[in-house]
A = this chain, B = another copy of it.
Amino acid sequence: MSKTFHNYPVEQSMKLAVDAVVFGYTKETGLSVLLIKRKIAPFAHQWAIPGGFVHNNESLEDGVVRELQEETGLTVNYLEQLYTFGNPDRDPRYRVVSVAYYALVKPDSFVTSAGSDAEDVSWFAVNQLPSLAFDHVDIINSAIQRLRGKITYEPIGFELLDAKFPFSDLEHLYVNLLGREIDRRNFKRKIKQLDLLIELDETAPMSSAGRPGKLYSFNKEKYFSLKNRGFLFDMSF
């Protein structure tokens, strides 16, 4: 009876969306996410993470990239699938299953412009989030957890920093993400022995006071060649 019903189910009626948790980082604000203010119902005039329905002939990644471009004008430099949220009632209209991604952007890409589907676009520190549409709090929290975990075994933190950065920026990033103090000397020793940094002949431009630090850049080529050889990174502290 119910067996027959299962084998010949009614036509599926649900929609597939992609959403993106876009992370940015500055020393001043700490880890932040990019939110848009929705123009249309449901949850009109509420903050939400950027996203939208997948088109019929685009891949999921292409859909995320397109939606980000449309809603925020942003181009990201790191994008990874996070989790698929599919509770039947997560959208009040009808069933929407959402494939969530998370993305990392460098501080110099922070300039955004509200697109046609968004009333406003803005960055929010992750510990000062406004109330959010749908289950987007859950999505953001999953993304934060994932990011926290991932930076301990993959050097993706660099994707949140400028191309040239002082060592202290990296340290502050880790302190902020891990939520506890790190000994500067131990941190520097461990990062240096990964041998993924290029020491530049420049010093950081001054921001207030203190001794300027040497600038470094991330050796992406070396990282990928090590990674492809199956090298394991340990960036836990």
Contact = CB atoms under 8 A, between A and B. Distances in A.
Interface string A80-103: 010110111000000101010000
A14 interface: yes
A116 interface: yes
Copy number in this complex?
Answer: 2
A86 B60 contact: yes
Nearest to A11: B56
A54 interface: yes
Contact of A54 (B12, B55, B56, B99): B12
Nearest to A149: B153
B84 A12 contact: no
18 contacts: A3-B116, A6-B66, A9-B53, A9-B55, A12-B15, A12-B16, A12-B53, A14-B54, A16-B16, A16-B86, A54-B97, A56-B88, A57-B88, A59-B86, A59-B87, A59-B88, A60-B84, A60-B86
Interface of A: 3, 6-7, 9-10, 12-16, 53-60, 66, 70, 81, 83-84, 86-88, 95, 97, 99, 116-117
